[in-house]
Structure 1
Amino acid sequence: MLTKYLPNRLMKIVSSLLQNYEISRIGIFALFFTCGLTLTLVISACSANNTGNSVATQTANQGVVVRIGYQKAATILSALKNRGNLGQTLTTAGASVTWAEFPAGPPMLEAMNAGSIDFGYTGESPPIFAQAGGTPLLYVAYDPWSPKAEAIIVPKASPIKTVADLKGKKVAFAKGSNTNYLVVKAVEAAGLKYSDIQPAHLTPADARAAFTAGNVDAWAIWDPYLAAVEHDTKVRKLTDATNLAPNRGYYLARQEFVKSHPDLLKTLLDEVSIVNKWATNNPEEVAKFLEPELGIPAAALEIAEKRRKYGVLPLTDEVITQQQNIADTFYKIKLVPKQIQVKDIVWNGNKS
């Protein structure tokens, strides 16, 4: 394959040397010279080809703006924004990036439905509601997170001792969130129906205020807000998500963006992977970084960081099946209006 880069005259010299080779200083010098020249020509040809590809990529991406939605509490995208490396990488590729902050996953995916963002990260429940509502999104990777990183809590002095005691009680959680699913599975495991509790659909900030004031009986919440209330207040866990919910996170992208710019999506996922490795190896640094962002003490954030897992992983059949179970559960209790198939919106481009 490499001989196509060599002129005919040079090929004749190489053939002659190989056919009439004698161990001599002249023969060795000539052979080395020829090999060196051959390698130089090949490297030059490959470099020219790579340069051409790079220029073509920059031209194709010229003027493209990658619009990312993020939540401050979603460590990786928040860190990716503040570290600034992604902007430099996209500039090299001919594109640029903008960021939009959201208080939770559902409004972020509403923005994706409106065509306002191209990429984001949420817990396991928001993409199910979004798919049922017709949002043109794709699952592009998942984050293992941890079932220990979400829980249903009550004040330490509460008479509520078990999940079964939540019958007739007011439980706060964000509608359509990962903790929404945790509540469903927890009450079912305790022998209750979802209709046996009084859901209070509140954002994390509003739920904490209601919980502290005693206006709700229990609160289902995820890290780092869970770690923060554990650090600041005397609370007791009724259960975490162990054996109830996988509590994964998902990287999601707008279908049209994936179709038009798969190279930029892969670049984005590569940069996310780099930040993931940094976060995995530096929980104390992550806590210090998030403290001013979230207004949560670093000591609490460090607890949250040490009990979670990071990753940018391709979706497996097992992961898709478990996500489908969540979708089926929400349909069964009429939280989503129609049955969906998660596998229909899974991107396979990151499998290698």
Structure 2
Amino acid sequence: MFSLKKLLTTLSAAALVSTAPVAAIAQDQPGAGVSMIMAQPTWDTGWFQTEIFKQMFEELGYSINAPLTLDNPAFYQSVGYGDVTLWVDGWFPIHNTYTHAFEGSAEIIGPVVSGGALEGYLVDAASAEEFGITSLDDFKRDDVKAAFDRDGDGRADLVACPPGWGCELTIEHHFEAYDLDSHINPIKAGYASAMADAVAAYETGSPILFYTWTPNWTVNELIPGEDVVWIEVPEVSLPDDMADLVDAATRSGVEGCVNDPCMLGFPANTIDAVANTAFLDENPAVRALLEAVEIPITDVYAQNAAMNDGDDDIEAQAAQWIADNRAQVDGWLETARAAAQ
């Protein structure tokens, strides 16, 4: 005999069975069915944290292809338009010059790498001692220029920043402010190859002058205070959009600097995420994860050194880092899942 009550009871039980796994998946993977487009910078020292975040986002269910490698201007314009979802390689305040491209449509969340980030100029320690080099101003001296002139143009060679990098603008400002154009030749070729050439020159006993930042493999290969020293600028002078950050360009306790406090000439930065606001509003789990995670800068140093030694399997390195920090990662993921409920 047909029983409507029995049928409804059976259907209700079936519904509970069929929807329970769906609800569990939705709770565990709030990003299921959602695609993200991540970007990474042209400097490979930032790719480690990019891959760590990519793998964590994938644990939340988001679908992500290989990150797009973009120059700064292209990324900041793209994230503003929503063509790219995010990257975790914003350097602020040195990237302040790009904020006009995404104001109102993307936002800065950070820091994603804890411990701060330095920038500045370094000289091999032996030459600094031999020639008494403590400042960029010393490169106006004929004997110093001759020692550091490897291409014969009468100017000291400096490994600088490729076009499109935020540091390129600050270095150009320094050259104008300190009247260095006729004294120093900025090498703007690919940074990794130019630094590899500088390291090779150092190993043969040749003087070297280079710009770098931290975290970076250079400070593992050429250790400040042992192999090289940070030198100072004649006075702190910054581009107009960073003029209010003058005090942050002098830092105390910089290991391997010729003076303490050290007048680096670049404001100390934080490494932050920059993400499209509309996407964040639709995906609170992503916002929550970006806000929760901080990767120790020493871990990035270690990976950069391994990469420079030839271990370029960044996917495996990130997976190992996640495994080594599983308890903390699980806590971050739970925070993200809770935000999505």
Return the TM-score normalized by structure 2: 0.50
Whole-angstrom CA distance in 1 between matches of 2:32 and 2:52: 26
Whole-angstrom CA distance in 2 between matches of 1:77 and 1:198: 33
Deviations 1:216-240 (A, max 9, x none): 9621111323313414994332149
Deviations 1:205-258 (A, max 9, x none): 133145347699621111323313414994332149544412222210124423
Whole-angstrom CA distance in 2 between matches of 1:270 and 1:134: 19
- In structure 1, the residue matched to 2:35 is 65
Q: Is the 8 A contact 1:179 1:222 kept in 2?
A: no
Whole-angstrom CA distance in 1 between matches of 2:159 and 2:93: 16
- In structure 2, the residue matched to 1:154 is 123
After superposition, the Cα gap between the structure-2 partners of 1:271 and 1:99, relative to the gap in structure 1 and judged at 3 Å, is farther
Which one-letter code corresponds to 2:279 in the other structure? F
Candidates 234, 238, 249, aligned match of 2:271:
249
Deviations 1:61-100 (A, max 9, x none): 553212222354224333334xx333112x1xxx323341
Candidates 117, 133, 136, aligned match of 1:163:
136
Pairwise CA RMSD of aligned residues?
4.6
Candidates 195, 209, 222, aligned match of 1:218:
209
Which one-letter code corresponds to 2:178 in the other structure? L
Q: Is the 8 A contact 1:138 1:252 kept in 2?
A: yes
Secondary structure in structure 2 of the residue aligned to 1:205: helix
Which one-letter code corresponds to 2:287 in the other structure? K
Residues 121-270 of structure 1 mapped to structure 2, 5 A cutoff: 121-124=89-92, 127-132=95-100, 137-142=106-111, 145-146=115-116, 149-158=118-127, 159=131, 161=133, 162-167=135-140, 169-174=156-161, 175=163, 177=165, 179-180=167-168, 183=171, 192-193=178-179, 197-212=184-199, 218-223=209-214, 224-231=216-223, 234-239=227-232, 242-243=250-251, 244=265, 245-259=267-281, 261-270=282-291
Whole-angstrom CA distance in 1 between matches of 2:170 and 2:114: 16
Candidates 59, 75, 88, aligned match of 1:88:
59
Secondary structure in structure 1 of the residue aligned to 2:98: helix
Which one-letter code corresponds to 1:138 in the other structure? E
Q: Is the 8 A contact 1:123 1:250 kept in 2?
A: yes
User: More relative contact order in 1 or in 2 (CA 8 Å, sep 6+)?
Assistant: 2
Whole-angstrom CA distance in 2 between matches of 1:133 and 1:182: 19
Q: Following TM superposition, by how much is the alpha carbon of 1:56 offset from its aligned partner in structure 2, in angstroms?
A: 9.6
Q: Following TM superposition, by how much is the alpha carbon of 1:150 offset from its aligned partner in structure 2, in angstroms?
A: 2.9
Whole-angstrom CA distance in 2 between matches of 1:62 and 1:289: 30
Whole-angstrom CA distance in 2 between matches of 1:181 and 1:144: 25
Whole-angstrom CA distance in 1 between matches of 2:40 and 2:165: 15
Whole-angstrom CA distance in 1 between matches of 2:172 and 2:274: 24
Higher helix share: 1
Deviations 1:129-176 (A, max 9, x none): 4334568532223356435x4331123444471221234644332245
Whole-angstrom CA distance in 2 between matches of 1:262 and 1:103: 24
Which one-letter code corresponds to 2:59 in the other structure? Q
Secondary structure in structure 1 of the residue aligned to 2:33: coil
Secondary structure in structure 2 of the residue aligned to 1:237: strand
Whole-angstrom CA distance in 2 between matches of 1:53 and 1:79: 25
Which one-letter code corresponds to 1:86 in the other structure? F
Whole-angstrom CA distance in 2 between matches of 1:144 and 1:178: 20
Q: Rg larger in 1 or in 2?
A: 1
Whole-angstrom CA distance in 2 between matches of 1:144 and 1:103: 23
After superposition, the Cα gap between the structure-2 partners of 1:192 and 1:128, relative to the gap in structure 1 and judged at 3 Å, is same
Whole-angstrom CA distance in 2 between matches of 1:111 and 1:160: 46
Q: Is the 8 A contact 1:173 1:203 kept in 2?
A: no
Unaligned runs of 5+ in 1: 1-47, 298-349
After superposition, the Cα gap between the structure-2 partners of 1:270 and 1:193, relative to the gap in structure 1 and judged at 3 Å, is same
Q: Is the 8 A contact 2:157 2:185 kept in 1?
A: yes
Q: Following TM superposition, by how much is the alpha carbon of 1:194 offset from its aligned partner in structure 2, in angstroms?
A: 6.6
Q: Is the 8 A contact 2:119 2:213 kept in 1?
A: yes
Q: Following TM superposition, by how much is the alpha carbon of 1:179 offset from its aligned partner in structure 2, in angstroms?
A: 4.0
Unaligned runs of 5+ in 2: 1-18, 141-154, 234-248, 252-264, 312-338
After superposition, the Cα gap between the structure-2 partners of 1:103 and 1:216, relative to the gap in structure 1 and judged at 3 Å, is farther
Aligned residues, how many? 231
